[in-house]
Structure 1
Amino acid sequence: MDATDTPTLGALLRRPDLHLRLEHGEPAALDRPVRWVHSSDLADPTPFLSDGQVLLTTGTQFQGGRTSAADYVQRLTARGVAGLGFGTEVVRDGIPPELAGACRDAGLPLFEVPYRTPFIAVARANAEAIAAEAFARRTWALSAQRAIALAALRPDGLGATLAELARQLGTWVGLYDGAGELTREYPSGDLDAETSASLGNEVAAVLRRGARAASALRISNRPFTLQTLGRGGHLRGVIAIAAGELDQEGRGVVTAVIAMAGLAFEQHQGLSRARGALRAGLVQSLLTDDPTLARRIARDAWGPLPTPPIAVALTDAAGARSDGLAELLELRAEERRGAVFFGRADDGLVIVVPAGDRQAIQEAADRFGARIGVSEPTGYDRFAAAVEQARVARDRGRDAVTTFGEVAASGVLSALGPEAPSLAAAELAPLTAHDAAEGSRLVETLRAWLDNDCSHELTAQALGVHRHTVRTRLALAERLLDRDLSSFATRAELWAALRVQSA
C-alpha cells in the first residue's frame, strides 16, 4: 500500500482536494496514525475524544477570552490528540496567534481548514484512508495465506512455508526443534551471535516448561515473538519471529503457518515413533552381548555403531523431557555418524558413545537436567553388564553425571538400602545396652579388635589396656551376642554393622 494512503495527519495534509495548510508540526508528529477526525467548539471537548484523534474547531470558544488557548491546548495534548485543525473565515480570519503559539510550545500539530473545505470532507477523507488501509491489509493477508499454502506443497514444505512467512512479514523467522536446536532460519545469518544465543536460551526455557504458549520479549532492543508447536506436555518445537505485536491480519497469517508446521511435526512424529521402536529393539539385541544384528541394522539405517571401547550411559529422563532428549541425540547422531547411538530401555534412554568422548552425555544432562549414570569402558560383548553398571551409577550418584567407577570407589556398603542403619543398631544392641548400663567399652573394644585384624596384642596397644582385658571383654561380648567370634562370617557381619553405624 502506498504511503500516501496511510491514515496519518501528513496524508490528510497532502490531499490536494482538501486545501489544508500546515501552520506548525514536527515531521514525526505528522506521521502519527489518525484514528478518527472529530469536530467541536467546546471549551473542553476531551471527554468526547480518544487517543490518536484529530480535532477540528472554528474557535468560538476563544471569543471574548472565555477560554485560555494555553489551557485548551494542554488539555488536548494530555488526552493524546494527534492534531488540531482550525476552520478559518467562519468566526474569524486566520488562526489566533495565541493558539498558534500554544500549539507550537506543546508540540501539537496545527493546520488551517479553509472555508471552502467542510469539516465533514476532512473526516470523510480520513475514514476513506482507514477503510483503504483495512482493505489493503485484508488483501495482503489473503495473498500471503495463498502464497504460504502453495509453499507448503513444495518438496520441503515446512522450510518453504517458513521462508514464505519471513518474506511476507519482511523479517527473520526461525524454527527450533523439541531439543531447542535452531534447525531452520530465514534469512540465514540474520541474527548476530549474542542475540542468537540469548534467543536460544529463551526457547530452551519455554521448552523446559512444557506448556503451550505464545510470548513476546526483547533482546538487544529487538522484539521477538515465540510460538510453541505441539500440545502441552509434548512440545515439538518453537517458531520465533523477529517482530513485536502483529495486527489482526499478521496474526492470522502466523496462525496459518503454526497450523501447517504443527501438522508437519505430527506427520513426522509417526516416523519418529517407528525409528524409536527400531532403536529400542536394537538395544534389546545388544543386551544379549552379541552385536552382530545391531551392527548390521544400524549401519544401514543410521551409520556404524560407536567403535569400542565404549561407554554406556542410562538416563532417568521420562515423558516430554525424554522426547526432547531423544531429538537432541538424533541430531548429534546425524551430525557425528558412528559417534552416538541411543535407544529406549525400560527405565530410561541408553546412550552409547566412544569411551573417550562423552560430550553428548554431558550435553544431555546440562540441557535437560537429566540424571545420567555411565559405565566403565567396555566392549559390546559385555553390554548388558555395562547397562547395569550405568543403572547403579545413575541410582547411587549425586551429580548430574556419575560414573560407575565413582560409585564403586565408595565400596559395597555404600549401596546398602535405607534400612541398613536400623539393622546394624539391632545387631549391636546387646553390647550398646551393656555399655550404657555398666559403663563398659564392649563396642569400642570389638571395633578396635576387628580393625586390627583380630589381634589381641594390637588391640590392647590401640586401647591402652592389657591383652587379658581385651580377651575378657571379647568373651563377654560373645556371650551377650550369642555369636561365635571365631567365625569369619560373624566377624564380617559385625564389622559391616559397625561400619554402617559409624557412617
Structure 2
Amino acid sequence: MSPMVSLVDVLALPALALRPTHAVDPDAAVRWVATSELDDPAPFLEGGELLLTTGLAARGWRREWDGYVERLVARGICALGLATGLTHARPPVGLVRACERHHLNLIEVPHDTPFVAVSRAIADLLEEEDRREARDASRYQRELITAALDAHDGSAVPRRLAGLLRGAAAVLAPDGTLLVDPSGPRSDDLDLASLTAELARIRPRGLRAASAVATSDAAVELHPIGVRTRPSAYLAVLLPAGAGEARRSAVRTAVALLGLAGERAAERRDADRALRARALALFLAGDSHGAVLVLGAASRPVVVPERVCVVLSRPSVAAGAVRTGLSDLLEAVEDDGLMISGEDDGLVALVAPDRAEALAADAVAAGARVGIGEPVALEDVAAGHRTAGHALARTADGAPVVAWEQVMHTGILGLLEPDRAADFAHTLLAPLAASPELRATLLAFLSHHGSRLKVAEELGVHRNTVRHRIQQVEMLTGLHLDDAEHRVRAWIALQALPAPEPVQPR
C-alpha cells in the first residue's frame, strides 16, 4: 500500500497558504497531486488525488460545475484545489455549491502559490510518511519478536499486536474455541459468534483460508496459522480504518511468528507422540517399568494410573472427515496428559476406568466405533488390549461403543461372530427343525444337567418319554449327550437360535 497524508496535514503547511473553502472531510487521504485544465479530467485520474486547476476551461461556467464535480467525486479524488487570481478571482458560486451538494473538499490556492510548490510539499510529506511507516514497521517487528521470545508458545504476540494496531486481536482454534482471549482497546468489537461462523465457512480451504470483512470504521480479518497442510489456529484482528502499511506489516509478522511457535509446538507434539507410541509398545510387551521411563522423557507429563482400561477407537467409515475428527480428538486429549496414541488410522488409549466412557463418547462424536477393555494392572495391559479388540469387534451402527463387561454378560456367544454362530446352529439342529418337542426336550435336558426326572416334571411327560426323545435327538443329530463337549455344542447352538415355541404338557 502506497503512503498517504491527510488533507489537514497539507492545509497546515504555512508556506503554501492554502485556504479551505469547503472542507467537508479534512481527514481525507491525499495519495498524490494531479494538475489538469481539461473540462473533464476524470478519465485520467485514479482516485485519492488532490486535483489542482486554474479553471481555464471553465471560464463562464454556471450549470456546468455540477457535472464537473459529480464526475470527480465518482472518480474518488480527495479534494479540488482552485487557483485564484488568474481565471477566477475567487471560487465561483456554482463551483462552491456543486462541492457542497456532492460533498467534495474545495480549497483555494492563492495566486502566489505555484502548483509545483504544492506538488513538492506533498511529495515531501509522502516521503516522510514513507520513512515513518518504515521506522514504525521495524519497531513493530522488534516488539513482536520480543513478545514471541518472552512467551515461547507465542501467546504474548497477539496481545502485543492488539496494542500496536490500536484495535483488537485474538487466537482461535479451528473449531472457534478461544486459545488467546481478545485484547486491545477495541476487543469488545470482536464478535466471537461471527468469527466462529466465518471459520466454519473458510476452514476447508486450509492454509489459504484468510478472510476480511470491512465496516465503516474497521476491518475484521482472519488469518490461518501454520506451515503444514492444515491450520493449527487462526489469528483474528480488528484493524481500525486507515491503518497504514506498518500496522498491516505487523499483522503479517504476527502470523509468521505464531506459525513458527505453532511449528515448534508441533515438533514437540510429534516427539511426544513417538515417545507415547514406544511406551505403549512396551506396555503391550509387559515392560511397564521401561514404558514409564520412556514417558519420563516427554515434554509434558503423562498420567498413567495403576489400573487402566484400554480404549480402542476406529473410524466407523472410511471417510477423511472421521480421520480428521479423531486427529482433532487426539490433539485435544493429549493436552490433558492422557496416555493416548494413534494406531491403524484410529486411537488407542490407556485411561483410568472412570474416564473410559467419557473418552469413548468423544470418539463416537468424531465418527468412530469404540471398544473398552477390562480394567487391568499396568503389567497386564496386553490382556486389556486384547479384550478391547474383542469388544471393538462387537460394535455396530446401532451400538458404536461396546465394553468387555457387556461381552462377558452375553456369555460365550458374545465372542462368536453372529452369522457364523447361527450357521453352526442351523446345521447342527436342522434334523430337529420339524419337531419342536424334541428341541424343547433337548433344551430342558441341558438346563437340568441331564436329569430326566426334572425334564419330565417340567414338560409334564413320563420319564420314559423323555428317555425316548433324547435317544431320537442323539440319533438325528449325531450328538452323544453323555459327553460334556457334545453338551456344550448343543447348548451353544440352542442359544444362537430363536427360542422355540413352548410345548404344551400332555
- Length-normalised TM-score, structure 2: 0.69
Partner of 1:434: none
1:212 maps onto 2:202 in alignment: no
Instruction: Say if 1:373 and 1:391, in contact at 8 Å, map to a contact too.
Output: yes
| AA partner of residue 403 (structure 2) | F
> Would the alpha carbon gap of residues 254 and 192 (structure 1) be closer, same or farther in structure 2, given more than 3 Å must change?
closer
Instruction: Say if 1:229 and 1:239, in contact at 8 Å, map to a contact too.
Output: no
> Would the alpha carbon gap of residues 16 and 203 (structure 1) be closer, same or farther in structure 2, given more than 3 Å must change?
same
Q: How does 1:166-315 map to 2 (within 5 A)?
A: 166-175=162-171, 184=180, 187=183, 191=187, 195=191, 199=195, 209=204, 211-217=206-212, 223-233=220-230, 235-243=231-239, 249-288=246-285, 291=288, 294=291, 305-307=303-305, 310-315=308-313
Partner of 1:327: 331
Q: Residue 15 of structure 1 is aligned with which of 9, 13, 36? A: 13
Partner of 2:54: 58
| AA partner of residue 210 (structure 2) | S
Distance in 2, matches of 1:313 and 1:447, equals 46
Quote the sequence identity (%). 28
Instruction: Say if 1:214 and 1:228, in contact at 8 Å, map to a contact too.
Output: no
**Partner secondary structure for residue 78 of structure 1:** helix
Distance in 1, matches of 2:266 and 2:352, equals 29
Distance in 2, matches of 1:312 and 1:190, equals 48
Instruction: Say if 2:85 and 2:111, in contact at 8 Å, map to a contact too.
Output: yes
Distance in 1, matches of 2:186 and 2:57, equals 56
Q: Residue 342 of structure 1 is aligned with which of 340, 343, 360? A: 340
CA deviations over 1:345-378 (Å, ceiling 9, x no partner): 5664332333334586268538855554334555
Distance in 1, matches of 2:211 and 2:437, equals 66
Once the two structures are TM-superposed, the CA of residue 85 in structure 1 deviates from its matched residue by: 1.9
Q: How does 1:68-467 map to 2 (within 5 A)?
A: 68-149=64-145, 156=152, 158=154, 165-175=161-171, 184=180, 187=183, 191=187, 195=191, 199=195, 209=204, 211-217=206-212, 223-233=220-230, 235-243=231-239, 249-288=246-285, 291=288, 294=291, 305-307=303-305, 310-316=308-314, 324-333=328-337, 340-345=338-343, 348-357=346-355, 361=359, 364-365=362-363, 371-380=369-378, 382-394=380-392, 396-398=395-397, 402-404=401-403, 408=407, 449=439, 453=443
Instruction: Say if 2:374 and 2:405, in contact at 8 Å, map to a contact too.
Output: no
Distance in 2, matches of 1:285 and 1:159, equals 36
Partner of 2:502: none
Instruction: Say if 2:277 and 2:341, in contact at 8 Å, map to a contact too.
Output: yes
- Unaligned stretches of 5+ in structure 1? 334-339, 432-441, 461-467
1:49 maps onto 2:45 in alignment: yes
Distance in 2, matches of 1:232 and 1:254, equals 21
CA deviations over 1:443-471 (Å, ceiling 9, x no partner): 686699569947999xx9xxxxxxx9xx9
Instruction: Say if 1:447 and 1:495, in contact at 8 Å, map to a contact too.
Output: no
Distance in 1, matches of 2:27 and 2:304, equals 63
> Would the alpha carbon gap of residues 30 and 397 (structure 1) be closer, same or farther in structure 2, given more than 3 Å must change?
farther
Distance in 2, matches of 1:492 and 1:120, equals 108
Once the two structures are TM-superposed, the CA of residue 232 in structure 1 deviates from its matched residue by: 0.8
Partner of 1:439: none
- Unaligned stretches of 5+ in structure 2? 316-321, 446-454, 460-464, 500-506
Distance in 2, matches of 1:11 and 1:189, equals 26
Instruction: Say if 1:151 and 1:164, in contact at 8 Å, map to a contact too.
Output: yes
RMSD: 5.2
Distance in 1, matches of 2:425 and 2:273, equals 49
CA deviations over 1:41-61 (Å, ceiling 9, x no partner): 333221112222232233334
**Partner secondary structure for residue 94 of structure 1:** coil
**Partner secondary structure for residue 54 of structure 1:** strand
Distance in 2, matches of 1:412 and 1:248, equals 73
> Would the alpha carbon gap of residues 363 and 443 (structure 1) be closer, same or farther in structure 2, given more than 3 Å must change?
closer
> Would the alpha carbon gap of residues 192 and 50 (structure 1) be closer, same or farther in structure 2, given more than 3 Å must change?
closer
**Partner secondary structure for residue 210 of structure 2:** strand
Once the two structures are TM-superposed, the CA of residue 133 in structure 1 deviates from its matched residue by: 1.7
- Length-normalised TM-score, structure 1: 0.70
CA deviations over 1:438-497 (Å, ceiling 9, x no partner): xxxx9686699569947999xx9xxxxxxx9xx99xx99x98xx8779875775676577
Once the two structures are TM-superposed, the CA of residue 107 in structure 1 deviates from its matched residue by: 1.5
**Partner secondary structure for residue 272 of structure 2:** helix
Q: Which moved more, 1:386-395 or 1:411-420?
A: 411-420
Instruction: Say if 2:390 and 2:404, in contact at 8 Å, map to a contact too.
Output: no
Question: How many equivalent pairs are there?
Answer: 464
Once the two structures are TM-superposed, the CA of residue 265 in structure 1 deviates from its matched residue by: 4.4
> Would the alpha carbon gap of residues 91 and 242 (structure 1) be closer, same or farther in structure 2, given more than 3 Å must change?
closer
